[in-house]
Amino acid sequence: MKKVAMYENEKILVLGLARSGMSAARLLHQLGALVTVNDGKDFDENPEAQELLSMGIRVVAGGHPVELLDEEFTLVVKNPGIPYSNPILEKAIEKNIPIITEVELAYQIAEATIVGITGTNGKTTTTTMIGDILTAGLEKGTALLAGNIGAPASTIAQNAQAEDVLVTELSSFQLMGVRAFKPHIGVITNIYEAHLDYHSSRDEYVNAKWAMQQNMTKEDILIVNGNQPELKELARTTKAQVLYFSTSQEESASAYVAEDTIYYLGDKIMTTTELGVPGEHNIENALAAILVAKQFNISNETIKTALQHFGGVEHRTEFVTEIEGCKYYNDSKATNILATEKALSGFDNSKTILLAGGLDRGNDFDELVPSIKGLKGIVLYGESKYKLKEAADVSNITNIKVVNTLEEAVSEAVPMSTKGDAILLSPACASWDQYKNFEIRGNVFKEEVKKIKGKSE
């Protein structure tokens, strides 16, 4: 990693632990900073805080005392999930103390080429696709996945070599805290309305995503979804070279689809049916990944093989298993209506039983109606089940079941299905009514499917 001296003897506050806070605290300590870590969790129940204290790092745990800011810190490094309404952050803003997230630290120390991927949907899948293609095709160096997809970028960057590629998934929360950060290649998969419980407005959310390119130059490359007029308009303002991808044969697109075939600058890569994962949204993800791969001179054959063997990302239209001719898919990551709409686009509704439900965000589900019409069946559970049933009724779905839990939903779905069908968990809701996160929800689904498979063998 690059040796930077800018943090030596600087008083820095790391706000919030979890993986990113731990990484930032360790790195800053290594760089000679005078680090104070503040975390809301009580010290006695906080193994991360205990570990940092054993390293000689000052820890303040069990709350967020605003008076900490009286100590004249020169920088705050915040956990991305902590909102700017936090009293410490509000006081830091009042005192003009810079606030960053750990991806800024990663940029400052990284010797590797950085590829940054952001967007409302498809970030993880696109990041993983890029990683798979580069792993198969790079002549030198290694593709290293970082950010939301795994270990914090500031951890991975410490051991990355100059010939490596840091493939980094970036959230709007992280990008609100960047100053000098820039990727050499940036990807924006799409922008829709999301996270308005964190961002004060849609404009703030869009601006956070767009911040990824704010320091890019004509030497850098920005890859943008050409299907979205909003992004095309924004792209007029960047200093980076812009490359578009599109699921239509659009004149401006370098990677595009024509007659169910994926092309790059007129060269055929593969047919859309050869992709290892279903759905138009995954075609978009693949197009973005192809554009990144081509910047590293990866061959068409290598790209095709990697995308053919791409089996999806856990909890994102993940193929689980096949039981008596019925395929089971786990799309627990679909925590909003748009994600479920995109998942359904890859399936034949007449042969699909959808499992949906959880915690809505105060919304109704009218927007879901066109996408669920013609479903063979739908099983609804959780806090939003009756709201979802209203949409199912409007859609004229004849086979509707309403239950309390996901476990019950899986059991009800099985007798609805026959050979050639798909049972798809794509909740269109957050998990928090019954589960701590969507990963736990997805794992519960897979465990229930595993039980069914055991009984059938």
Owner of token pair 């943090």: 7
> Percent of the chain having pLDDT more than 90?
87
Residue 248 · residue 256 · CB < 8 Å: yes
Average pLDDT over residues 341-357: 94
pLDDT at 250 over 80: no
Instruction: Give helix 300-308 / helix 123-137 axis angle, nearest 10°.
Output: 130
**Phi, psi (deg, nearest 5) at residue 328:** -115, 135
Q: What structural domains does the chain harbor?
A: 11-100 (3.40.50.720), 103-308 (3.40.1190.10), 318-456 (3.90.190.20)
120 assigned binding-site residue: yes
Q: What is the DSSP string of 199-239?
A: SSSHHHHHHHHHGGGTT--TTSEEEEETT-HHHHHHHTT-S
Residue 374 · residue 398 · CB < 8 Å: no
Query: For residues 52-84, b (16+ Cβ closer than 10 Å) or e, as one string?
Result: beeeebebebbebeeebbeeebebbbbbbebeb
Closest CA to 192 of 153, 231, 157: 231
**Statement: the pTM of the whole predicted model exceeds 0.85:** no
Q: Tens of pLDDT along 366-411?
A: 999 999 999 999 999 999 999 999 999 999 999 999 999 999 999 9
Strand bridging mode 221-225 / 185-188: parallel
Contacts 24+ apart (CB under 8 A), 88-93: 88/13, 88/15, 88/38, 88/64, 89/15, 91/66
Provide the β-strand partners of residue 271: 261
Residue 136 · residue 305 · CB < 8 Å: yes
Token code pair at residue 347: 């399936």
Q: What is the helix (H) or strand (E) element at residue 283, kind and residue range?
A: helix 280-295
**Phi, psi (deg, nearest 5) at residue 320:** -95, -60
pLDDT at 138 over 70: yes
Q: How confident is the model at residue 195 (pLDDT cuts 50, 70, 90)?
A: low
Token code pair at residue 382: 């959780």
382 assigned binding-site residue: no
396 assigned binding-site residue: no
Residue 457 CB partners (closer than 8 Å, separation 6+): none
Residue 76 · residue 92 · CB < 8 Å: yes
302 assigned binding-site residue: no
121 assigned binding-site residue: yes
Average pLDDT over residues 317-341: 93
Average pLDDT over residues 187-200: 76
* Beta strand ranges found along 331-446 (DSSP E): 352-357, 377-381, 400-402, 422-425
164: phi > 0 → left, psi -120 to 50 → alpha, else beta; which?
beta
3-class state of residue 285 by DSSP: helix
DSSP-derived letter for residue 73 is: -
119 assigned binding-site residue: yes
3-class state of residue 186 by DSSP: strand
Q: Tens of pLDDT along 266-310?
A: 999 999 999 988 888 899 999 999 999 999 999 999 999 999 999
**Phi, psi (deg, nearest 5) at residue 126:** -65, -45
Token code pair at residue 329: 């898919």
pLDDT at 180 over 70: yes
Provide the β-strand partners of residue 222: 186, 242
What is the per-residue pLDDT for 139? 95
Strand bridging mode 185-188 / 165-169: unpaired
Q: How confident is the model at residue 150 (pLDDT cuts 50, 70, 90)?
A: confident
What is the per-residue pLDDT for 160? 97
3-class state of residue 80 by DSSP: coil
Q: Tens of pLDDT along 204-213?
A: 889 989 999 9
123 assigned binding-site residue: yes
Round to whole Å and give the CA distance between 14 and 9.
15
Q: Other CB atoms closer than 10 Å to residue 42's CB: what's the count?
A: 11
Round to whole Å and give the CA distance between 102 and 226.
30
